[in-house]
Amino acid sequence: AVTERSFIMVKPDGVHRGLVGDIIKRFEQRGYKLVGCKVLVPSRELAAKHYAEHDGKPFFPKLVDFLTSGAVVALVFEGKDVVKTGRTMIGATNPLASPPGTIRADYGIDVGRNIIHGSDSVDSAMREIALWFRADELANYTPVATAWIYE
């Protein structure tokens, strides 16, 4: 559906490296609609909830340390197939295994510094958006370009 939404987050490494604008630009240029955007330093509780599926894995404590080490930019983009397309635009979990042209390949090397998060399914997206945003923090509007992006 054109109203599908994905939770996209620039992680602390991406913020420190000044990649926020480029990342937003890629999704905007593709035609996706920005409906949520905020900058925050996540609490450990929020980071652990976000990555709950990885609780108990060897890399989990480091992952929470990393995500809470600085500011992140939490984003919600909306549009046709945005969850799957967002993952394609982001690349593989390991930047070295990501195809050129993807965000992680274009900017990253190590798996623990892979710049960006993107929801892996529509269900994950709904859970993550509800975790990071209140309903009134998501904007309802129709970009004028909509008819020039969708036929």
Q: How far is the CB of 147 from Mg ion (least distance, A)?
A: 34
Q: How many residues does the chain have?
A: 151
Give whole-number Cα distances, 7 to 32, 70, 125, in Å: 12, 19, 5
Give the integer Cα–Cα distance in Å for 92 and 113.
13
Classify residue 73 as exposed, middle or buried by CB count within 10 Å of its CB (0-12, 13-18, 19+): buried
Q: How far is the CB of 91 from Mg ion (least distance, A)?
A: 12
59 binds, among Mg ion, ligand DAT, none (CB under 5 to 8 A by kind): ligand DAT
| 127 labeled binding residue | no
Positions in 57-116 near ligand DAT (CB under 6 A): 59, 63, 93, 111-112, 114
Q: Is 117 a catalytic residue?
A: yes
93 binds, among ligand DAT, Mg ion, none (CB under 5 to 8 A by kind): ligand DAT
Q: Hunting for tokens 């309903």 — which residue is that?
A: 135
Question: Beta partners for 34?
Answer: 77
Other Cβ atoms closer than 10 A to 117? 22
Q: How far is the CB of 118 from Mg ion (least distance, A)?
A: 8
Q: Which of 16, 50, 54, 117 is catalytic?
A: 117
**Which residues make up the interface to ligand DAT (CB under 6 A)?**
54, 59, 63, 93, 111-112, 114, 117, 120
Query: Active-site residue numbers?
Result: 117
